Every structure is written in C-alpha cells, then in structure tokens.
Amino acid sequence: MSITRRHLLGASASLLAAPALAQGEWTPSRPIRFVIPFAAGGATDVVARVLADRMGERLHQAVVVENRAGSGGNIGMENAARSAPDGTTIVMGTTGTLTINQHLYATTGFDAVKDFAPIGMAFATDHVLIVNEKVPARTAQEFVAYLRENPGKVSYGSAGSGSSTHMVAELFRLAAKVEVTHVPYRGSAPALNDTVAGNVQFMLDQLPSAIGMIQGNKVRVLATTGPGRSLPDVPTMREVGLPAAEATSWGAVLAPAGTPAPVVSRLSAVLREALADPAIQQRLKAAGADAVSSTPDELKAKMAQEVETWGRVVREAKITVN
C-alpha cells in the first residue's frame, strides 16, 4: 500500500489563482502564528517558511513560524487546536498528523476532523532513501542485500513515531522484507544529522529536508519514493524492484475549529494565490517539494480518504509507536 501523487487532489493540483481582495474582506489585526509541529529544518518547516513570507505580504501582517515539535507532531497540533479561533493561529498539518497518528496513539490530544477548519493543501514531496557514507552499499539493491545479511543490526532515524518518515520507512521495510531498528527523533533535522554522523545508518527523509546534505555529498542517496524520478540520476523504488515502497507525503494548512468562515475563506484565497505564483512554485521545487492547491472542502475529502488508507497500512504492517 502506498500513497502517491496520483492520489492527490486531481484537478486541484493545477494551481488555482485566488480572487483579488474585495472591500470588507477580513484582514488580521496582529501577526499570525504559523505552528509547525516539527523541528526547524525539516520539509514541513522549509515549505511553511516559503509560504509564510508570501502570505504575510498579501495579508499585510507578519506570519511568524513557530516550531513545536514532539510526539510525532501531536504536541504542535494540539497547541494549534487549543488556540483562539480568530485567524491569528494556523498550522501546517501533514500526512502523519492528520491521517496516521490517530491509528497509532491511544490519544493524540486533538481530533484532526473536529478540532480544525481546513484551509487548503500546500505541498507534496517524495522521500529519499539515504545512507551514511560508511554503509557498504552503492545501490538500493546492494543495500537491501546488506540489510538481509544483518537482520536487526541496522537502524534508521525518523522525525518521530507515526511521522511520514517513520511510515514510509516501514513501507520500505515491508517491501524489502528486512528487519531494521527504528530510532525516533523530535523532527527530521536531528534524525538527518545523526544519519550524517553515523549514529543511525539510513533514513527515508522527505526530499526538501535532505536535499542540502545530498548536494553536499554528506549522505549517499540510493532511491526516491515517488512515481517518477524527483532526482534525475536517482532511480525510483519501482525501478529498483520495490514498487510497494512507492509513497508521497503532503502538507496542508488548517486553522482551529470555530474560525469564522470569512477568515477561512480569506486565508484559503491567500494560500492558493501564493501557490499559484510561479516564483513560489520554483522555490518549492528547488527545495524538493511540489506546490499543490485545493479548496477547504477538497482538503477535507482528502483527509477522510487517507485516514482509511493509512489505517489499513498501520494494521497490516502491525506498526506501533515506540
């Protein structure tokens, strides 16, 4: 079971331009807090900072990124859910926090459906299989053989139990039929740093998070997880014989439940306008992410679809939080 761009929002993936500001439309009276439920430096954080700048320009008010990491993103999501529903708090939800965590945790501290007002999709990104330079494998096939020769002796890092970097790594483990040890961190950035240092041997990080280390030759990249090549010289999981490890992660912007409809409408329009800007699209693509736009209702439908999909993955793979 895998999630790919083919499952993303169909026609909404062709970015929609937002209407011009009309008289009487809501504008914030003070800076907006943009909660990122993971550590700085990860894919979600990278994309949010690009969008925050442009949204702030259009709203004529600062949009300030605030990282609140921990518990697979649950801490930041709960913080946002409990914030005043007045348009001054938004949050970047992810595949993990919105559709996976509820299947893994006895309690997350929030209800992804009841506690949030969807604003719109923001991005999609592939994951990359990266290994420490000392790992004796030059290709994905050699790495799988190495793992099979050393069951349980090789560890991987993730952004936390239940995060996309955990789930996609578990899909890889199932597809490759290998036994590996999971080491959860409080975000992708510290996990990536430990992969570079060799404290863990590999990671299936999101491309925006890992691209700098890849370009700097700090890690060796063996495969990508999308349906097509996101790096020209790196094969996909399907190409290396592991089609079941194909997966794409996504992120979306939400506000606390109860946020007035005119506020949600304005925030959604500004978000879609930002995503329709070729300059923003290029900045995201340079960071390894694709801009993906939607209406609030389309995001709501997307969440419902993937809650069912990832619930099946969790059950079939018998995945538990550490």
Average pLDDT, 10 consecutive residues per value, the chain (322 residues): 37 42 76 94 90 96 95 94 97 94 92 97 96 97 98 94 86 94 90 97 94 96 94 96 92 98 97 97 89 96 88 82 66
**Would you tell me how many other CB atoms lie within 10 Å of the CB of residue 168?**
30
Q: Which CATH number fits domain 126-245: 3.40.47.10, 3.40.190.10, 3.30.1330.40, 3.40.50.1580?
A: 3.40.190.10
Q: Quick one: pLDDT at residue 71?
A: 85
**Would you tell me how many other CB atoms lie within 10 Å of the CB of residue 217?**
9
The pTM of this model reads 0.78
Question: What's the CATH number for 5-125+248-317?
Answer: 3.40.190.150
- CA 120 to centroid of chain Cα atoms: 14
Strand partners, 236: 224
Integer Cα distance of 235 and 221 in angstroms: 10
Q: Quick one: pLDDT at residue 21?
A: 45
**Residue extent(s) of CATH 3.40.190.10 domains in the chain:** 126-245
Token look-up 């709960």 returns: 78
**Residue extent(s) of CATH 3.40.190.150 domains in the chain:** 5-125+248-317
198: Cα within 13 Å, side-chain hemisphere: 4
Q: Quick one: pLDDT at residue 8?
A: 40
